[in-house]
Amino acid sequence: MATGPSNMGEVVIKTDKLTKRFGDFIATNEITFDVYKGEIFGFLGANGAGKTTAMRMLCGLSTPSSGSATIAGFDVYKETESIKKNIGYMSQKFSLYEDLTVIENITFFGGIYGLSDKQLKEKTEQLIEQLGMKSEAKKLVGSLPLGWKQKLSFSVAILHEPKIVFLDEPTGGVDPVTRRQFWDLIYDASARGITIFVTTHYMDEAEYCNRLSMMVDGVIKALDTPTNLKKQFSADSMDQVFFELARGAKRKGD
């Protein structure tokens, strides 16, 4: 279990009965929770449980049907542009431009987030050093192995030192060694005060989180530290906890 800040820190994500409806279908049903600064917060749930819908609302990409939420202090209805400036996002589906080189990608995304030329130069060198990509810097991202792409993608997502970074299944399909290297990067970021909001299907990764929430059928069925959850469900592993909670789920969507 990772350490994080002491329990009562600054709240960076606050939701209150956040809901999203599509016609008659309630994808996300009155979810209420807080996330603290520097925390590694795991957002778990089966496919179709409503995770993606919830995340989109938190990123300012989708307007909620009802309820309220503030991200990094900005209102999710009225201040979505400010939210986008203060968060980072990385998903499996899209990370970087495959037909641009490593450096070009860093420069581009850094530029988008308003980094100055000097900052960009510094950060680029730092990043390449940290990831050990000196000889790959000028290669097209498309030619890199998956694991490297993911690590680079994460680093680019936090290039502008956002308050929160949202990670949507960032380690899918990656080999076990690279996965752990990825989580080293996550730990580093968390230690620097960046809040990590991550979804994953790997149950051992659930253990790396400070706290977890589990969504089932659009509702948050559990929210606590991994240790407490295991006690609550008399389980040996997060796998079992997940199984217990998800088994009764009616919705097993996409």
Partner 1 sequence: MKQFISFVRKEFYHVFRDSKTLLMLFGLPIVLITLFGFALTNEIKNSKIVVCDYAKDDASQRIIDKIQTTENFQIEKALMSHRQIEEAFKSGIIKLAVIFPANFNNDLLHTNQAQVQVIADASDPNTASTLTSYINNIVQDYQNEISPSGPAPYQITTETRMIYNPALKGATNFVPGVMALILMLVCVLMTSVSIVREKEKGTMEVLLVSPFSPFLVIVTKAIPYFLLSLINLTVILLMSVFFLEMPFNGSVLLLYLESSILIITCLALGLLISNSTDSQQSAMLISLMGMLIPVMMFTGFLFPLENMPMVLQWIANIIPSKWYYIIVKSIMIKGLGIASIWKETLILTGMAIFLLIVSFKRFKIRLA
Partner 2 sequence: MSDVILTNLKKTYNDNTVVAVDNVSLSVEKGELFGLIGPDGAGKTSIFRVLTTLLLPDGGTASVNGFDVVKDYKKIRNSVGYMPGKFSLYQDLTVEENLKFFATVFNTSIEENYNLIKDIYVQIEPFKTRRAGKLSGGMKQKLALCCALIHKPSVLFLDEPTTGVDTVSRKEFWEMLKRLKEQNITILVSTPYMDEATLCERIALIQDGKIMSIETPANIIKQYPDELYAIKSNNMSLLLKELRESGMVQSFNSFGEYHHITFDREAEDSQGKLIEYLKNKGHTDVEIKGVTPTIEDCFIQLMKNKINGHGPK
252 binding partner 2? (CB under 8 A): yes
- Least Å distance, CB 117 to partner 1, is 8
Given partner 1, partner 2, none, residue 191, with its beta carbon under 5 to 8 Å by kind, binds partner 2
Residue 75: phi and psi, rounded to 5, are: -75, 140
* Shortest CB 208 distance to partner 2, Å: 7
Among 157, 183, 212, 214, binds partner 2 (CB under 8 A): 183
Sequence-ordered list of residues with C-beta below 8 angstroms from that of 120, at least 6 positions apart, any chain? 106, 107, 110, 111
Q: Is 104 in the site for partner 2 (CB under 8 A)?
A: no
Q: Which of 21, 84, 201, 221 binds partner 2 (CB under 8 A)?
A: 201
Nearest distance in Å: CB 81, partner 1: 13
Give the residue with the Cβ less far from partner 1, 100 or 249.
100
Does residue 214 interact with partner 2 by CB under 8 A? no
Instruction: Tally the residues of the chain.
Output: 254
Q: Which of 18, 70, 208, 217 binds partner 2 (CB under 8 A)?
A: 208
- Helices 102-112 and 117-131 cross at an angle (nearest 10°) of 140
Residue 108 touching partner 2 (CB under 8 A): no
Least distance to partner 1 from the beta carbon of 111, Å?
Answer: 3
Only segment of 103-111, 127-135, 154-162, 200-208 that touches partner 2 (CB under 8 A): 200-208
Pattern of binders to partner 2 over 219-248, x per CB under 8 A? -------xx---------xxx--xx--xx-
User: Can you give the three-state secondary structure of the chain, one letter per residue?
Assistant: CCCCCCCCCCEEEEEEEEEEEECCEEEEEEEEEEEECCCEEEEEECCCCCHHHHHHHHCCCCCCCEEEEEECCEECCCCHHHHHHHEEEEECCCCCCCCCEHHHHHHHHHHHCCCCHHHHHHHHHHHHHHHCCHHHCCCEHHHCCHHHHHHHHHHHHCCCCCCEEEEECCCCCCCHHHHHHHHHHHHHHHHCCCEEEEECCCHHHHHCCCEEEEEECCEEEEEECHHHHHHHCCCCCHHHHHHHHHHCCCCCCC
Q: Is 175 in the site for partner 2 (CB under 8 A)?
A: yes
Is residue 176 part of the contact set for partner 2 (CB under 8 A)? yes
Structural tokens at position 49: 């449980």
Which of 191, 192, 231, 232 is close enough to bind partner 2 by CB under 8 A? 191
Residue 99 engages partner 2 in binding (rule: CB under 8 A): no
Which residues contribute to the site for partner 2 (CB under 8 A)?
Answer: 1-3, 46-48, 145-147, 172-178, 180, 183-184, 187, 190-191, 201, 203-208, 226-227, 237-239, 242-243, 246-247, 249, 251-254
